[in-house]
Amino acid sequence: MWYLAEIVFAEPSRANRESYQCESCNVVFQADSADAAYRKAISWGQAYVAEAPAGMQMLGVSHLTSIGEELADGVEICGNFFEELNVWDRIDELIPPAHRLKAIQWEQGRDSPLKNLFDIDGTNH
């Protein structure tokens, strides 16, 4: 069975601080059970912390979802139902143009400084 785990990382806790830089990684694992997939996710997260951007620590696995027996083109790996107000009036706000999707920005901006790709100053729209 294939599983999708969302593994969350954050800067270390500090006194008198409320806001922290965080990272969420969605990773797929093949395992015999959800428990085994969870253990793989924890191991992956611990290994990632050793190589992650300086100072990040693993918070844990925030979601674990089964995908199915086969992982192939067109297989849905996650999703959810939710309620949102006025979606048709806000479509431009809710659905960005393709060039603003992070995967496309990342691939097209491989030669750009990281601060531009990660929108550190809030101007990369």
The residue written with tokens 């954050």 in the block is 10
The residue written with tokens 């069975």 in the block is 1
Give the model's pLDDT for residue 101.
83
Residues of the chain falling short of pLDDT 70: 52-54, 112-125
Would you say 3 and 68 are in contact if contact means Cβ atoms under 8 Å apart? no
Mean pLDDT of the chain: 85
Give the model's pLDDT for residue 7.
94
Q: 94-125, pLDDT tens digit by residue?
A: 888 888 888 788 888 777 666 665 555 555 44
For the chain, what is the largest distance between any 2 Cα atoms, rounded to a whole number of angstroms?
47
CA 25 to chain centre: 4
Would you say 4 and 27 are in contact if contact means Cβ atoms under 8 Å apart? yes
The residue written with tokens 């922290």 in the block is 20
Report the predicted TM-score, pTM, of the whole model to 2 decimal places. 0.69
